[in-house]
Amino acid sequence: MVNKYRNIKKILKNLCLLVTLFSVSTLVSSASLSSFKPSFDSIKNTVVRKEVFFNYLLPAIHKKNAEIIQLRNSILNNELSVNELEKLASKYRVKHPATQEELLKVIDILPPSLVLAQAANESNWGRSRFAKDFNNYFGIWCFSEGCGIIPKERDLSAKHEVASFNSLEECIDYYVLNINRSYAYEELRQIREKQRNDMQPIKGIVLAEGLGNYAFPGIEYIDSIKSVIQFNQLGRYDYTN
């Protein structure tokens, strides 16, 4: 009889958790592109906190990828003027004049699983000071005086600051641009290009191999990102084509 009541209590507890997840996730999904920003510190249940975190970031990630896909289509269909192509080449640091192939290599989507895993890793699931106060979810640095916030434990000889953003969308814009144009992530772009050429889905667990220069030590960082993707089954958010 005691075990029976324990099982009922456990079932009710799980049902309550599922209801909470559904309610909070629905709220966050509908409000994430507005001024609503969850207080991740106040969410004590780890499962709920993670789900709220994913649902907060996902609409902005999908929005950015949709913009990139639209731009890729414009390039493929020769819809852009010479001036527009030159501006893109400058923005993405491609030599002039840029070929269609060169532009499409750098102007491409990032799988949601990869973006979510890096954001979770770099912001401690949205609870870091830089994520909460400055919308920096990816540990992004800047190097001109006054460009951001000076870390409390910065070495005396260091010059970097932690970048500040006005919104989540602005942060994701910069993060994606940085991955797509920085020399440090050339390997990631090569992996992505091969996936496209082989007509394979672009998967975060595969692209993570190209993040060796994102943090030190590189191999451990790659393993940590892949672990976040696998443990949280983030591949479910990646596109199938």
What are the pLDDT digits (tens) for 65-108? 999 999 999 999 999 999 999 999 999 999 989 999 999 999 99
Residue-level pLDDT at 27: 46
218-236 pLDDT tens trace: 999 999 999 999 999 999 9
Q: Which residue has the tokens 């006005």?
A: 166
What type of residue sits at position 81? S
Contact 24, 56 (CB under 8 A): no
DSSP H helices in the chain:
2-31, 46-76, 82-91, 100-106, 112-123, 129-134, 168-181, 186-197, 204-207, 218-231
| Rounded mean pLDDT, 12-23 | 47
4 confidence band (pLDDT: 50, 70, 90): low
